[in-house]
Amino acid sequence: MAERAIRVVVAKPGLDGHDRGAKIVARALRDAGFEVIYTGLHQTPEQIVATAVQEDADAIGLSVLSGAHNYLFQRVLELLAEQGAGDIAVFGGGIIPPEDIAGLKAMGVKELFTPGTSTQDIVRFVREHIRAAV
């Protein structure tokens, strides 16, 4: 039986309007054969988690360039755990200083991509580390 495609929600949490990166990543993942749901801008963590659960997503990719990453990633992880959806992997990217990356990974964020990352690296990460739920 053919495995179903990996489904990724690409989301812009918080008030930040910088969506160039999120849209490029969404498109690169779609072109690589994944199913992509792009939430659009200005989403609350609650809205993002609701979308991921409803869409039966395997992963959430968060893009944050506003400096609010510590709060927003943590809140998304908390809400996933609360809803018994802790198996949905969370990764992300944006303007995220190195010392915050360590903290976010310790919190449970699978991977973080910073400026200069090639889309191929992100595609490779999803292919190697995200599994479609059965």
Partner 1 sequence: MTERERWPERPARFETLSGIPVEPLYTPESLAGWSPAEQLGRPGEYPFTRGVYPTMYRGRLWTMRMFAGFGRPEDTNARFKYLLAQGQTGLSTAFDMPALMGYDADHPRARGEVGKEGVSISTLDDFERLFADIPLGDVTTSMTINCTASVALAMYLAVAEKQGVAWDRVGGTMQNDMLKEFIAQKEWICPPEPAVRIVVDMIEFTAKHVPRFNPVSISGYHIREAGATAVQELAFTLADGLGYVEAACARGLDIDSFAPRLSFFFDIHNDFFEEIAKLRAARRLWARFMKERFGATKPESMRLRTHTQTAGVSATAQQPLNNVARVALQALAAVLGGAQSLHTNSYDETWALPTEEAVTVALRTQQIIAEESGVAMTIDPLGGSYYLETLTNKIEAAAHEYIRKIDAMGGIVRAIDTGYPQREIADAAYRYQLMEDRNEKVVVGVNKYAMTEGHPINYLKIDAAVEHEQVERVRRFKASRDAAKVERRLKQLAEACRGTRNVMPVLIDAVKDYVSLGEIADVYRQAFGLYREPIIF
Residues contributing to the site for partner 1 (CB under 8 A): 14-20, 22-24, 26-28, 30, 38, 40-42, 44, 66-68, 70-72, 75, 95, 97-98, 114-116, 118-120
Distance CA 25, CA 112 (A): 13
Q: Which is nearer to partner 1, 127 or 131 (CB)?
A: 127
Smallest distance, partner 1 to C-beta of residue 16, A: 6
Smallest distance, partner 1 to C-beta of residue 62, A: 13
Smallest distance, partner 1 to C-beta of residue 26, A: 5
Q: Which is nearer to partner 1, 31 or 56 (CB)?
A: 31
* Triad 2, 4, 82: Cα angle to 5°: 145
Q: Which is nearer to partner 1, 2 or 14 (CB)?
A: 14
Distance CA 98, CA 96 (A): 7
> CA nearest 13: which of 50, 37, 48?
48
Smallest distance, partner 1 to C-beta of residue 134, A: 28
Name the strands in the sheet holding 112-113, side by side, starting at the edge strand that comes first in the sequence.
Answer: 35-38, 7-11, 59-64, 89-94, 112-113
